[in-house]
Structure 1
Amino acid sequence: MRRAIGNLLRIHYGRLHTKFLTVPAITLPWSNGQTEGQVTKLKLVKRQMYGRGKIDLLQARLIGLKP
């Protein structure tokens, strides 16, 4: 019986936590989308260039400058 109550409480608090996180994400006017996109692009370029060059080549790939 105690285990069942503990499981129900865990489910309840999990739903409260999910609601606490999702409501602001839907209702607030700002987003981290632009930042996340830039971070994803940087990680992709770093993976593609692993072991190939130094910082000057990485800067050239991200900013568009010629090395």
Structure 2
Amino acid sequence: MIRLSVRDPADERRVLVDLTSAGRALEAEVLGVSIKIKSACRIADQGAADLRDTLETLGPPAAD
């Protein structure tokens, strides 16, 4: 499980969501991906944003 959700004891209408330790480990791994892409492509943040925008025009994201 990568996320944990519980009802807010102060307000039952709210659901509080947090990552489990496995989710936090995955989050750290995923954050490293953008750094590796920018380094491999030799681009800065704006170049990465431009690359993402270009890739998004190629097709819809894969369904989960």
Which TM-score band (shorter chain)? 0.3 to 0.5
Greater share of strand: 2
TM-score by length of 1: 0.36
Higher relative contact order (CA 8 A, sep 6+): 2
TM-score by length of 2: 0.38
Which of structures 1 and 2 has the bigger CA Rg?
1
